[in-house]
Amino acid sequence: MNTALFYETLGKVSFGIIIAIALLFLISTVLGIILIKKHKIILPKVLLFTIDTFYLQIKKLAHMFGMGDKIVDYIGIEIRNKIYAQRFANIDVKDRILVVPQCLRHLKCPARLDPNLGVTCKECGMCVINDLKQESERLGYRFYVVPGGTFVERIVKRVKPKAAFGVACHRDLNMAMHGLADWKCMVQGLPLIKDGCVQTEVDLKELFNRMRLGIEDAIPEVDMECPGDKNTSKTSS
């Protein structure tokens, strides 16, 4: 092949790749808008592939258009929830874990961090983690309060759950759900309604409902008058 032909072929291939990426972005943007506006997920695997492959670039674009980069993680979480919902529902609850972040704790929490178990809640009742622990035990989940994403991996390596339900800020949750899929672990996730380093909040009612996926008929619903009213689904300082 002479030099001119080589560069001509290279130019055509590059042009083809650019057009394909532009088309993928265009299709994914339309699918993302449908998901956000109508809560309808179409071609979830195409959308997830685009988000996972061009994660940083799409975040920058979202930021440029004033949408806030949380929207990208929100879409990733929603799609993973949809993709794994049925397989998660099929997993026996004794093979499931619930993982929540330590930022839900009360600032005066007396619990200590165990290098293998995470934060070992003493059930003092000062924060919502007490209710999460009790509901997890009632349903049969193993329950962990963790200081960060790397701790989640440590737990999954050790416990080898078949399914994991995670609660975290949008970014950490999307990343953790992505990582756990590599461990053949069926994932579900609920983002915090208020994130940050401390005094974060979770929608307790929504979480309790979604933890019952696949076991709705076997175990009665918890009376939400108790935990929801007592802690208002939040931590306090």
Residue 15: both structure tokens together: 């042009």
Query: Residue 121 Cβ, how far from ligand SF4 at the closest point, in Å?
Result: 3
User: Does the footprint of ligand SF4 cover residue 146 (CB under 6 A)?
Assistant: no
User: Does the footprint of ligand SF4 cover residue 130 (CB under 6 A)?
Assistant: yes
User: Does the footprint of ligand SF4 cover residue 110 (CB under 6 A)?
Assistant: yes
Report d(CA 121, CA 209) in Å as an integer: 22
Instruction: In the chain, count H helices and then E strands.
Output: 9, 6
Report d(CA 232, CA 54) in Å as an integer: 38
User: Does the footprint of ligand SF4 cover residue 211 (CB under 6 A)?
Assistant: no
Handedness of CA 168, 206, 183, 94 (dihedral sign): positive
Which window, 21-29, 51-59, 103-111, 186-194, contacts ligand SF4 (CB under 6 A)? Answer: 103-111
Q: Which residues on neighbouring strands pair with residue 187, listed in sequence order?
A: 164
User: Does the footprint of ligand SF4 cover residue 234 (CB under 6 A)?
Assistant: no
Query: Residue 227 Cβ, how far from ligand SF4 at the closest point, in Å?
Result: 11
User: Does the footprint of ligand SF4 cover residue 126 (CB under 6 A)?
Assistant: yes
User: Does the footprint of ligand SF4 cover residue 147 (CB under 6 A)?
Assistant: no
How many angstroms separate the Cα of 37 from the Cα of each of 18, 58, 90, 98? Answer: 28, 18, 30, 29
CB count within 10 Å of CB 102 equals 21
Nearer of residues 169 and 187 to ligand SF4, judged by Cβ:
169
User: Does the footprint of ligand SF4 cover residue 111 (CB under 6 A)?
Assistant: yes
